[in-house]
Amino acid sequence: MKKILVAGAGGFIGGHLVKELVKKGNQVRAVDLKPLNEWYQVSPDADNLVLDLRLRDNCFRAVNGFHEVFNLAADMGGMGFIENNKAACMISVLINTHLLIAAKECGIERFFYASSACVYNGEKQTDPDNPGLKESDAYPALAEDGYGWEKLFSERMCRHFSEDFGLITRVARFHNVYGPFGTFDGGREKAPAAIIRKVVEAGITGKKEIVIWGDGHQTRSFMYIDDCVKGIQSIMYSNIEEPINLGSSEMVSINQLVDIVEDIAGYKLKRSYDLKAPKGVRGRNSENTLIKKYLGWEPSIALKTGMKKTYDWISEQVVSESRSKKDISKFNK
């Protein structure tokens, strides 16, 4: 049994990771800034703490007495959030910095840092037919403003703590993770969840229309949460010393993503395009040669399979919320 700290445990990926680590018999301390009732998932068998890890003393409190750290904590969301909250995204640098210092001082054995494909040079992402971003494409550096630069800097912090202090660090660059128990409204949701919500709402209201951010031709790859959790653990306990891609190589356009959700829902929508909305780079995909070389594995859950599972969960939440609003409206009358 290992004593493991998961920072950002109240988030989407963190909640799934804690659940899996607890299931394997580990002693897990789960930490997040949000009040416990706002966590996406709460594992009752974990030591669940509400702490602001931007503060140095809280990082020492969280780390002390534990063996390993998975740092998934960050102020982040989809493109609509990170394009309009650059300063907030940059402040997350305090979390990783203080956690690394605490890990060094408290004798942590292994440290995992969740980075992002947003570290990649923007000039390599101008073509929707992106052949896939190799790990070396992060340099020369031209990361996503705000969020991407914070991630790239924190990657370097991990590297230098390994070089200077011998702390074993592992870094994975996530490419668009989706699945149940994630954000699907409120402004922080990513494309798969946002599109599913819009399609479900169109079905409920009978207004068979959808607004798509951008022209719909921008491309991405999307990794289902089960692949992500497996990849995190495989990378953590590997000999991979450099940052590595963790993402699906199944690239689709946003229009194709809408096609998939329409097929699941069983109806088509009239599409309109908001060209002024945040839309990010034109093309981004994960090039998985390196992870296949090291692990003999890559994320492989088909997008249609993962989207069906995600659709079922989000649909249940949206329908339930809609019914609650109708019940309240009837009561108020």
The residues assigned a catalytic role are 147
Q: 214-239: b or e for each residue (b if 16 or more CB lie within 10 Å)?
A: beeebbbbbbbbebbbbbbbbbbeee
Q: Is 159 exposed, middle or buried (0-12, 13-18, 19+ CB in 10 A)?
A: middle
Residue (of 223, 229, 312, 305) closest to 260 by Cα position: 305
Q: What are phi and psi of 244, to 5 degrees?
A: -140, 145
**Token digits of residue 166:** 């011998």
Rounded-to-10 torsion of CA 212, 260, 231, 245: -50
Contact between 46 and 9 under an 8 Å Cβ cutoff? The reply is yes
Residue 191, both tokens: 């494309």
Q: Which residues contact 34 (CB under 8 A, 6 or more apart)?
A: 10, 50
Beta-ladder partners of 174: 116, 246
